[in-house]
Amino acid sequence: MRDAIVDIDVIRDAVALACRAPSLHNSQPWRFVCRGSTVDLFLDAAPAPKYTDPTGRELLISCGAVLDHFRVAMAAAGWRANVDRFPNPNYRDHLASIDFTPVDFVTDAHLDRARAILRRHTDRLPFTAPPDWNDFIAELTDPLVASGVHLHLVPDELHGELARASKLVRAIRRYDSLYHAELLGWTADVVVAEGIPTATLLSPTESERVDIGRDFPSSGDHDRRSTVQTDHARVVVLSTEEATREDAVACGERLSSLLLDATLAGFATCTLSHLTEIPASRDIVAAVTDAALIPQVLVRVGCAPSLARPGPLTPRRRVDDVLQRET
């Protein structure tokens, strides 16, 4: 039976877990509204980066990721989330309307996937190569939605093209004062509800070993994971046929699914979006995947020699700040 009333505490717990989803600079550009039997998801671009993502494309990808995380969290709580995307053609920031159907049985797989949300984190340090890579790719979860999102593996021999694209972004952004000021503004030495803790960023020494990472402000002089002198991550690119809002949200849902699959497989991940922010670098990425498609986001996947996080858990806003209850 659809349109079942779900206890608000279940919704709150699911939203709290869903908000562990990755977002551009940890901006968390989403808002949930609970009305009776329905939960609505809205884009909340007010606190989000403007110069890094002037079109809002990456914010929509972020919202797609939180939508898939929410669906995973509700499944672990015993509810199937029925998603109606973009229900209001006159209000395009209303991204989804969700109602619920009780499930007969919550499997261990449902619970494991929800637990993976808490284990997943962005690891910007160099990786060793992921074992059994082809088996992992063959067993990726096929999300119920995200139609039109294409997944491509970048061959190792073409990794240098991605490094060239990253250098190109660095050169184009070098004198972009507004971009660098915004980047600095979204990093912090103290724990805040949004943004990226500097302890999770790379030192200059560490940055030299990851040739396709975003150039965040350098952090300290440490040399973590020094035994990994070259990054052996595999790179996955998610692309779409068009560049609509629907495509961006679907891409975020597919990104969430990929990240959770990788976490369950014991892999470390790092989402990269800077390579698709500049047309020239985006064209390079398209050339090594499929020139007919639009690259949306990349993911580095590999193994971290240590189970320890590279820094503190990235903070999130309070549930009461992102979830509104209307009667």
The reply to whether 1 falls in a domain is no
| Residue 125 maps to a domain | no
Q: Are residues 246 and 166 in the same domain?
A: yes
Residues 66 and 28 in one domain: yes
Q: Are residues 201 and 75 part of one domain?
A: no
Residue 270 lies in a domain: yes
Total-model pTM: 0.95
* 128, part of any domain: no
Single out the residue of 233, 238, 222, 208 nearest to residue 311, CA to CA: 222
- The count of structural domains within the chain is 2
If asked whether residues 108 and 153 sit together in one domain, one would say no
Of 149, 101, 196, residue with least CA distance to 295: 149
| Most distant CA pair in the chain, distance | 57
- Let me know whether 158 and 294 are in one domain: yes
**Burial of 295 by CB count in 10 Å (0-12 exposed, 13-18 middle, 19+ buried)?**
buried
Query: Is there a single domain that holds both residue 161 and residue 85?
Result: no
Q: What is the CATH number of the domain that holds 277?
A: 3.40.109.10
The helix or strand, by DSSP H or E, that contains position 84, with its residue range, turns out to be strand 79-85
DSSP letter (8 states) at residue 145:
S
184 and 95, same domain (yes or no): no
Please check whether residues 298 and 319 belong to one and the same domain: no
113 plus 140 within the same structural domain: no
The tens place of each residue's pLDDT in the chain, 327 residues long, gives 577 899 999 999 999 999 999 999 999 999 999 999 999 999 998 878 999 999 999 999 999 999 999 999 999 999 999 999 999 999 999 999 999 999 999 999 999 999 999 999 999 999 999 999 999 998 887 654 457 899 999 999 999 999 999 999 999 999 999 999 999 999 977 667 889 988 889 999 999 999 999 999 887 788 999 999 999 999 999 999 999 999 999 999 999 999 999 999 999 999 999 999 999 999 999 999 999 999 999 999 999 987 556 556 789 999 999 999 987
Whether 307 is covered by a domain: the verdict is: no
**CA nearest to 95, candidates 68, 65, 60:** 60
Same-domain status, 202 and 87? no
Q: Report if residue 150 sits inside a domain.
A: yes
Q: Is residue 241 part of a domain?
A: yes
Residues 192 and 290 both lie in one domain: yes
Q: How far is CA 292 from CA 58, 79, 295, in A?
A: 20, 38, 10
Q: Which domain holds residue 29?
A: 8-119+315-326
Count other Cβ atoms within 10 Å, centred on residue 154: 18
Classify residue 308: in a domain, yes or no: no
Q: Are residues 146 and 83 in the same domain?
A: no
